[in-house]
Amino acid sequence: MGRPMTPKVFPGVPADLVEVVERHGRVVAAGDNRAVLADFRPDRIGQLIASPSLPESLTSAELLDLRPEEGGLFAARIRYTAADGGQTVLRSRWIRLPEGWRVTEVRNLPATAPRMTTAGPAEDGSDTPHWEGLRAGEVRVPRCDGCATWIWPYRPICPRCHGFELSWVAVEPTGTVYSWTRTWQPFAPEFSGHLPFVTVLAELPQAGGRRLLGILLDADGVDPLVGEPVRAEIEGAADSGWPVLRWRLDRREVRQG
């Protein structure tokens, strides 16, 4: 089959961009890496190559949606079908540069959080009770038996009274956003297919204000606010690995207000 006789029409989208994006889908599906790279913004090539995750052998691409966004960007959703029938949707954002339309951002949809290869207890096993807590569906934080100081990250000695006796206490799995960042760069191989993602440092008032790191769920296009409530969700591992703690914004109250 050749090119479709009637190109799709998308409101508010320049016709030449529709053509470029449809051709982009075809060269990606064909595995023509030189042509794919030529569509990327030159100053972001390294990031754009490693951001999405696609199966090896693709048979076709279908442009599902193309729409204007703020800042002169256009967002395209392209669905790729693999030889085994599996389907993957990528969203690319396009910008017009002097040399032509270029991809400035690309990601897999739906947005899913990466699982770090380092997930699990420290080598010396000092924080194993925390991870065992996650397996039991609890967020456990150590507390000094002597002076009730909450200790996180884990240390074998209470920083306040220098006691050695401590207990791992299950705390309510909620907190507030102390800080957050969105990661765009593929710093580790396991990030591919999950970029960008948002990491939240959440403060737990019920644990003396100790702060726990976790990736934010459903964070595509969402900018958290400092002080916003978050709730922990414990995500099990597909294999026999350790579950991981994720955060989710708790915006119900905001919507009701």
Does position 157 bind Zn ion by CB under 5 A?
no
Query: 46, 86, 163, 236: which one contacts Zn ion (CB under 5 A)?
Result: 163
The least distance separating Zn ion from the CB of residue 163, rounded to whole angstroms, comes to 5
Does position 161 bind Zn ion by CB under 5 A?
yes
Query: 90, 103, 111, 144: which one contacts Zn ion (CB under 5 A)?
Result: 144
Query: 81, 112, 128, 149: which one contacts Zn ion (CB under 5 A)?
Result: 149
- Total binding residues toward Zn ion, as defined by CB under 5 A: 8
Does position 160 bind Zn ion by CB under 5 A?
yes
3-state secondary structure of 244: strand
Measure the CA–CA gap between 46 and 157, rounded to whole angstroms: 44
Is residue 207 exposed (0-12), middle (13-18) or buried (19+ Cβ within 10 Å)?
buried
**Residues ≥6 apart with Cβ < 8 Å to 176:** 202, 203, 205, 227, 228, 229, 230
Does position 15 bind Zn ion by CB under 5 A?
no
Does position 208 bind Zn ion by CB under 5 A?
no
* Comparison of 143 and 246: residue with beta carbon closer to Zn ion: 143
The least distance separating Zn ion from the CB of residue 126, rounded to whole angstroms, comes to 17
Does position 128 bind Zn ion by CB under 5 A?
no
Are 185 and 163 spatial neighbours (Cβ–Cβ below 8 Å)?
Answer: no
The least distance separating Zn ion from the CB of residue 209, rounded to whole angstroms, comes to 16
| DSSP per position, 223-237 | ---TT-EEEEEEEPP
Are 154 and 184 spatial neighbours (Cβ–Cβ below 8 Å)?
Answer: no
Q: For the chain, state the CA radius of gyration.
A: 23
The least distance separating Zn ion from the CB of residue 164, rounded to whole angstroms, comes to 9
* Comparison of 59 and 167: residue with beta carbon closer to Zn ion: 167
Give residue 62's identity as a one-letter amino acid code: E
Measure the CA–CA gap between 188 and 89, rounded to whole angstroms: 22
Query: 116, 147, 213, 222: which one contacts Zn ion (CB under 5 A)?
Result: 147
Measure the CA–CA gap between 218 and 113, rounded to whole angstroms: 9
Q: Which stretch binds Zn ion (CB under 5 A): 75-83, 90-98, 146-154, 243-251?
A: 146-154
Query: 158, 195, 200, 219: which one contacts Zn ion (CB under 5 A)?
Result: 158
The least distance separating Zn ion from the CB of residue 159, rounded to whole angstroms, comes to 8
**Cis preceding-peptide flag for 189 (omega within 30 of 0):** no
Q: Which residues bind Zn ion (CB under 5 A)?
A: 144, 146-147, 149, 158, 160-161, 163
